[in-house]
Structure 1
Amino acid sequence: MKMHKIIKERRLALNFTQEQVAKYLGVTTPAVNKWEKGISYPDISLLPALARLLDTDLNTLLSFQDDLTDKEVAIFLNQVSETIDKEGFTAGYDMAIAKLKEYPTCDQLVCGVAMLLDGALILKASKDDRLEEYRTEIMSLYKRAARSDNIQIKEQALSHLISNAIQRKNYTEAQALLDIISDPSPVDKKQIQAKMYIEQGELSKVAKTVEEKLLLLNTEVHETLLSLMDIAIKDKRYDDAGYIANVDEQATKIFDLWEYNRYLAHFQLYLALKDRTKLLKTFVPMIKSLTKKWDVNKSLLYQHIQTKEVDEDFGKKLQKNILKSISGDEEASFLKDSPELEDILKDVK
């Protein structure tokens, strides 16, 4: 909002007349009237007193605060896009730059305009005489947005600056910018890193990066499916829970996850259903799988991932903890005196 609108809005909110404001500040009523119409502006020496009178601060009075909502930014960007389609890139560009001069501190607007103009540049202005001017300004906007306090806006802008550096084959600059991005991040940091390695021909590095991402995503899918199944169980949608458990089992097999994971969903389902027969049928291979070493590099999906040496006794310790937990769990009390469970307990003692 511009200064003249702020002055008028605050004056009315405080029930002041223009005459009262003029009297308090030692100016004429017509002067205040001109301020509110945007014809002229208060003398700089009057600004602190005017801000105090209107019960606001200088930043607000001078329009230093961006007051565009996300919705307003989205609506404006649509207007710019329509202008580019109907009147050409230059018309949309000039419209966007004019808006940025009005709201220079609105980071959402800065980043949004940069991305919109960047996307439209090749399609709409590839032969324009002002092409270099456009490119320079767009990069400048990305750099402004990359200084935002909003992490999502900042890292979105950084990702575009990185892509530009990669296109220019300036991999040192690209890596330096990538290192600024947080982890985890609103942007796909690993994908950007992979793209850079591919451009540099470092295929073993890119394979490791992509494989790590794949393993992380598959693990997240597994955990998400377990949560969905738990929701279905609590909602007594047992058929849905069974379907989700089947999907999880297939997914863990297809994506070569730890064998132990493939049994977890059905184990939780049968435990909730108190289905002793099916539970034990699942539990026995599940508990035995803990002592089988999971060599992640044997999978073609994860052959470049660097792994740490796991304590050989880790599986046995985990076995004992799980069995101890099951033995003391009231929900699993229906398994008490089970010969199959007793045999497992003897094996791990």
Structure 2
Amino acid sequence: MKINEIIKEKRIAQGLTQEQVAESLGVSTPAVNKWEKGISYPDITILPSLARLLRVDLNTLLSFKEDLTDIEIGHFLNKLVEIIRSEGFDIGYEKAIDKIHEYPNCDKLILNIATILEGSLFMFAIENIEDYEKDIEKLYVKASNSSDIEIANQATSMLINKYLGREEYEKAQACIDKLPNITFDKTQLQGNLYIKASEFDKASELFENKLISKGNEIFTILRFMMEIALKENRNEDAKYFAEVIEKAIELFDFWDYNSYAAYFHLYSVQKDVDNLIPILDKMLTSMRKTWDISNSKLYKHIKPKENKVDSSEIFLSSFLNALKNDKDNELEFLRDNKEFLELIDKYNK
């Protein structure tokens, strides 16, 4: 909230009238009225007295507190994606930075904004993209120093991937060393407590979230194992890992896009055009069918996140743009392939 909203909310919460606030601070009632309307602001010399009167600290009064709820963050992120789509990346970027200036200590907001901005860079032909990438990286660095361990770890992981991409291995290692080793997981104890207390919905939701987490961990490990096999030219092993990934995705009721993506990477590295084109077709089709967690019996106690933006089309558009640009020249062997070009045109319509 902005300072004018905080003043009004806290005044009402304390049961004070504008006249009483004015009298306590030695100012006029119209002055207090203007503060609450955002027309003018209290003089800096009376801010400590105002904070004491409203029973808040100065950080809260000056909106320097990370007071955005998850719902408020979600609403803003949805709005940001829509702005980027309809008004362009530059406008969306300005809105995002303005929001961060408004809530400079809201690390969760900063991390999510950085993720959306970075993903959006792939969707548009942005000038001075390097400058934007530097600014986005600074956001990740700020979030990596968060007091919230989960946020800090996510941001640090993003930085590691950036450093690895630039072959800055010492920086990547420093980030890896910064990540904590988790030695104890209390999920089972907490879940058992819920069961004993007959709080079965809570227990189910807890274990379902853990299942998703472990399933994603298994999927990621298998992808790394396939990557190692490809780098060592163990093509049969790599194919086997892709097949295991497919089975794992089916077992955990995950989005089928993930299994197609594994095969897509396999055939791309092997330059296997005959298998790559059909799997790319399936992959692009799956992108239009965003994974709906509520369709799985494994996760029926997990509430789907509220998202009014059609993320599937955004994801598809971003991926098609990446295929066309092919910044790393990984698909150069397909550049003049008629089936490949027709497939891109088909899904661009």
What TM-score, normalized by structure 1, do the two folds share? Answer: 0.52
Aligned in 2, Cα 1:182/1:174: closer, same or farther, shift over 3 Å?
A: same
* 1:80-95 correspondence to structure 2 within 5 Å: 80-95=80-95
Q: Which residue of 103, 124, 133 corresponds with 2:131?
A: 133
Deviations 1:178-221 (A, max 9, x none): 11111239896996xx69x96xx899xxxxxxxxxx9xxx9xx9
Deviations 1:312-333 (A, max 9, x none): xxxxxxxxxxxxxxxxxxxxxx
Q: Which amino acid aligns with 1:149?
A: S
2:24 paired with 1:24: yes
Deviations 1:226-250 (A, max 9, x none): xxxxxxxxxxxxxxxxxxxxxxxxx
Q: Which amino acid aligns with 1:184?
A: I
CA distance in structure 2 between the aligned counterparts of 1:179 and 1:57, rounded to whole angstroms: 36
Query: Between Structure 1 and Structure 2, how many residues are aligned?
Result: 205
Deviations 1:287-329 (A, max 9, x none): xxxxxxxxxxxxxxxxxxxxxxxxxxxxxxxxxxxxxxxxxxx
Corresponding residue of 1:180: 178
CA distance in structure 2 between the aligned counterparts of 1:202 and 1:168, rounded to whole angstroms: 22
CA distance in structure 1 between the aligned counterparts of 2:29 and 2:128, rounded to whole angstroms: 47
Q: Which amino acid aligns with 2:133?
A: R
* 1:207-218 correspondence to structure 2 within 5 Å: none
Corresponding residue of 1:156: 154
CA distance in structure 1 between the aligned counterparts of 2:160 and 2:92, rounded to whole angstroms: 25
Give me the CA root mean square deviation.
Answer: 3.3
Larger RCO, structure (CA 8 Å, separation 6 or more): 2
Deviation at 1:15, TM superposition (A): 2.1
Corresponding residue of 2:100: 100
Secondary structure of 1:104's aligned partner: coil
**In terms of Rg, which structure is larger?**
1
Give % identity. Answer: 49
Secondary structure of 1:40's aligned partner: coil
Corresponding residue of 1:112: 112
Q: Which amino acid aligns with 2:148?
A: N
Alignment gaps of 5+ in structure 1: 204-213, 222-349
* 1:1-349 correspondence to structure 2 within 5 Å: 1-124=1-124, 127-184=125-182
CA distance in structure 1 between the aligned counterparts of 2:154 and 2:30, rounded to whole angstroms: 48
Aligned in 2, Cα 1:26/1:179: closer, same or farther, shift over 3 Å?
A: same
CA distance in structure 2 between the aligned counterparts of 1:202 and 1:52, rounded to whole angstroms: 67
Deviation at 1:116, TM superposition (A): 0.8
Aligned in 2, Cα 1:178/1:134: closer, same or farther, shift over 3 Å?
A: same
CA distance in structure 2 between the aligned counterparts of 1:116 and 1:128, rounded to whole angstroms: 15
Q: Which amino acid aligns with 1:131?
A: I
Secondary structure of 2:127's aligned partner: coil
Deviations 1:120-148 (A, max 9, x none): 11222xx3223222111110110111011
Alignment gaps of 5+ in structure 2: 184-212, 234-243, 252-349
CA distance in structure 2 between the aligned counterparts of 1:60 and 1:79, rounded to whole angstroms: 25
What TM-score, normalized by structure 2, do the two folds share? Answer: 0.52
Aligned in 2, Cα 1:188/1:64: closer, same or farther, shift over 3 Å?
A: farther
Deviation at 1:168, TM superposition (A): 0.9
CA distance in structure 1 between the aligned counterparts of 2:82 and 2:27, rounded to whole angstroms: 45
Deviations 1:20-54 (A, max 9, x none): 11111111222212211112221222111111111
Secondary structure of 1:123's aligned partner: coil
CA distance in structure 1 between the aligned counterparts of 2:130 and 2:33, rounded to whole angstroms: 44
Deviations 1:65-119 (A, max 9, x none): 1221112212211111122222222222122112112111111110000011111
Aligned in 2, Cα 1:18/1:202: closer, same or farther, shift over 3 Å?
A: farther
Deviation beyond 6 Å, 4+ runs, structure 1: 185-190
Aligned in 2, Cα 1:153/1:202: closer, same or farther, shift over 3 Å?
A: farther
CA distance in structure 2 between the aligned counterparts of 1:66 and 1:143, rounded to whole angstroms: 17
